[in-house]
Structures are given as C-alpha cells and as structure tokens.
Structure 1
Amino acid sequence: MQQGVATVTIDNPPLNLLDGKLIADLRRFAAQVRTDRTVQVIVFDSADPEFFIAHGDMHFLSGAAPMDAGDDLPPGTNVVQAVNEEIRSLPQVTIGKIAGLVRGGGNEFVMALDMRFAAIGSSGQAQPETLMGIYPGGGGTQYMTALIGRPRTLELILGAELADAGLAERYGLINRALPAGELEKLLNEIHAA
C-alpha cells in the first residue's frame, strides 16, 4: 500500500479465471479491507497482460464447482454475485486498470467497481453468455444497464460482442480509454495524490 492506495493484482494462472479460489481470495480481501481506514482507494489490475479476468469458471454451470455463496447471503445469491456485491459496497473507491480481456464473470466484476480505465489496443470487455444459451448470472444485466442503459445493454449481451476500449468508452462501460503508457501514468498520479 502506498499513501492510502492499495493495489490488488489478479494473478490466477493460466487465464485469470474467476474460479472458487480467486473468488474466495477476493471475498477475504473485501472483508479485511472494509474497515481499514488507512485504505481510501483500491486499484485492481492483472499480472497477465492478455487477461484481466478471462471469464467465470465454467464448472459453476456443470455443477462440478459449488455456486452457493454461503449461509450469510440472501437465498438465491450465487458466489459470483456475492463477491461482486461485496466489492461494489466497499467504502473505499475501487478502480479497475484493464489492460487485457475481461469477459463474462470477469466483466461483471469490473462493472461492480466504481471506475474503470482501459488500455487502447489490448483491452476488451464482453458478456458472451448468450452464445452458450445462458444469461449473465453474476450481476451483469443489472450493472451494465445501470452503466449504459437498456438498449446498449441488450445490444452487447444479446450480440455477445467484444467491446474494445474505444467502444467501451463511447458506451460508458469505462471512464476512459487510454494508451497503455498513459493508463499507467494516470494510476501513478492517483498513487501520488
């Protein structure tokens, strides 16, 4: 941590899959940082230049991985919804530094953050669930609608299109699309502030 800014680097090889291990780590982090008054800003980035978070664990759909989030949550809440809501409700400002692909459950995670900045030429966001005959089950329909409105949400979810940084910025999925070097500079300025 540096001057009230904590950086959380997603590092879950080989694809930064949003699986039970990563979700448990994120939930544990959220519980620990929630009452830490020394942390005012949390920046989420990725150790993998190709994938911020590739997608949710497909074993959640097959039943091979438990989707239940636990007894402490409202009935019907799944573990992806749980982690997204726990991160979304943190009192600190949360920022996503997106320099790779983020799809499905990963995109739902970044949409739960307060702000998102993406690298031009290397980032892309998508909700590809409809290609598999399912719907975004981790909050994607709610978060995306709140960010960009119903018509654009329908376009991106039903079309399962990968939105590059330029389209994501135009539609309002991210705050700003920047060249990779400027993205790093912007976040360094946040650390210095």
Structure 2
Amino acid sequence: MDTIIKQFENKGQGTVRLDLKYQPSIALVTLENPTRHNALSGKMMVELHSIITLLEKSQDLVAVIFRGGGGSSFCAGLDLKFARQYVNTIEDSLALNKLMYNNIQRITQLPLLTMGIVTGGAIGGGSEFITGLDFICMSKESGFIHFVQTRMGVSSPWGGMQRLISLVGKKKALLWMAGAYKLDAAHGVNHGVVDIVVDKDKDCLDQTVIFLNQFVVDRVTGQKVSPLAVRGMKKLAIRADGDWDYQSKVFATTGGFANL
C-alpha cells in the first residue's frame, strides 16, 4: 500500500477535510472537488487513507459523517480528468482501485457509527462508497444514488456489489448494479438503503446530527452515553457471527459490570 500511496499522492485536484470536533463525539469528513462533482482524484484517495488512520486512532468519537462539499454531489466516483492524466495502464488502474477498496473496507471496520449525506448524486464509485456506511440521509431536492458502473464498461471495483448484497440481497443487488438503477430518496427508504429523508439539501446535515445525537446523549436523562459502549456495539455489529469469546472481550473493554 505504501508504494501505491507514493504513486498517487498529490496527483490530481480536490481535497478531503477532517473536522474531529465538528460536534461533541461526532467528526465530519468532507470530500471537496465540487467542479468535478466531488469525484475522487489520487490525491483525495491518499488524503482519505490518512484521515481513516486518524479515525481509527480516535478514542472519544462515537460517529463520523461523510459528505460532499461545495453544494455539489456527494461523490461521482473516480475523477476521470485525473484518471486520463495519471492512470495509463491496467496496473495503474488496479493499484488505484486497491487503494480505494482498502479505504472503504477500513471505513466499514471503524468502531464508529458512519453516516453519509447524499445531496446531489452518489454516482458510480460514489454509490459504492455509500454502501460502506451504516446510515444515510438523503435530500428529496437533489439526492440520488446511481449505479452507472456497467454503463461505463466496468464492474464493481471498490467492493460495492458485496456490500449491497448484504443490504438488499443478491437478486436486487444484481438488478441494481448490472441494470444501472437510479434510486431517489423514496426508493432508498422503501428498500432500506436510506434512513432519513429531508425535503431540502440544507436540512440534511442538521437532521443527521440530530439522528446521531441519540448515540451521544440519552434522550430521557440528558446524560452522556458511554462512547465505549456504543463503540462496543458497533464492533459486535461488524462481527455478527455469534463468537462468544469475541463478544466477552468487547464487553470487558467497555468496563463490563463495573458500569452497571
């Protein structure tokens, strides 16, 4: 992975920003390449790799929000302008896909609740990014998820097919991915892919924070919820295989009966 990072760091435009203290216990990651609908360049993928490392090391966070910047789309996948300049061989393409597959896979393994804000499009690789997040807020005003991969002559390079199967089942995932389906907010909710729908783009971030605050502060008592307990639940959700030894180890890290 180090070789791939050196190959693509500082290649292309755009940036990825991290605010570790956006809200109490909630971080904010912003994909910023608005003139390219927040498509990801090599530079941005490497920055995202570094940001995920910081999130992995964080001890006091409960959740992280991912959004597109500049009033543009969530993410339009790979920045083709960057690709035409720097991705010249099949080896280059495979290396870049390995980097982004690794990024999204690590996001799915974070001991944090992850939430995406879909205003504008989550297109192609952006639709694969979305499948790696725990919860989604989508705007009726402009939000949509579009699985355009086959229309561009490619398969699912960032692991989206496997994750979508776990969300909606094999038949529907194959139908959507191979058939280049476009989902609006209503369809997303009906199929269990979208969790919050808002009327206007401007409302999505606020509603996302309200949604995530239920994991930060108890709604009845107003007391702060133990971050270790919430993070422990996320770890169990990642590894939902009934392994008692693993479950008991996670329980011990939260303080166990000492907190009861």
Same fold judged by TM-score > 0.5?
yes
SS across alignment from 1:51: coil
Work out whether 1:177 is the aligned partner of 2:197.
yes
1:69 shift after superposition = 5.0
Aligned to 1:26: 48
Cα distance in 2, alignment partners of residues 90 and 67 from structure 1: 26
Which sections of structure 2, spanning at least 5 residues, go unmatched? 1-20, 218-260
8 A Cα contact 1:44 1:94, kept in partner: yes
8 A Cα contact 2:137 2:196, kept in partner: yes
Deviation string for 1:108-157 (max 9, x for gaps)? 11110111111112111022111122211111110111111112112211
Aligned to 1:186: 207
Cα distance in 2, alignment partners of residues 13 and 120 from structure 1: 20
Cα distance in 1, alignment partners of residues 60 and 31 from structure 2: 22
Aligned to 2:150: 130
Cα distance in 2, alignment partners of residues 188 and 158 from structure 1: 34
Tell me whether 91-100 or 175-184 shows the greater mean CA deviation: 175-184
Q: Larger helix proportion, structure 1 or 2?
A: 2
TM-score by length of 1: 0.86
Deviation string for 1:14-69 (max 9, x for gaps)? 22112211111111001112121122110111213231101223428x94383455
SS across alignment from 1:22: helix
Query: Which of 97, 101, 104 is the equivalent residue of 1:81?
Result: 101
Identity %: 24
TM-score by length of 2: 0.65
Cα distance in 1, alignment partners of residues 148 and 183 from structure 2: 11
| 2:137 partner letter | F
The 1:6–1:149 alpha-carbon spacing in structure 2 relative to 1, beyond 3 Å, is: same
SS across alignment from 2:155: coil
Cα distance in 2, alignment partners of residues 183 and 51 from structure 1: 13
State the aligned residue count. Answer: 186
Work out whether 1:94 is the aligned partner of 2:114.
yes
Work out whether 1:12 is the aligned partner of 2:29.
no
Query: Which of 57, 61, 70 is the equivalent residue of 1:39?
Result: 61
RMSD between superposed Cα atoms in Å: 2.3
The 1:82–1:69 alpha-carbon spacing in structure 2 relative to 1, beyond 3 Å, is: farther
Larger radius of gyration: 2
Which sections of structure 1, spanning at least 5 residues, go unmatched? 71-76
Aligned to 2:250: none
| 1:113 partner letter | L
8 A Cα contact 1:121 1:164, kept in partner: no
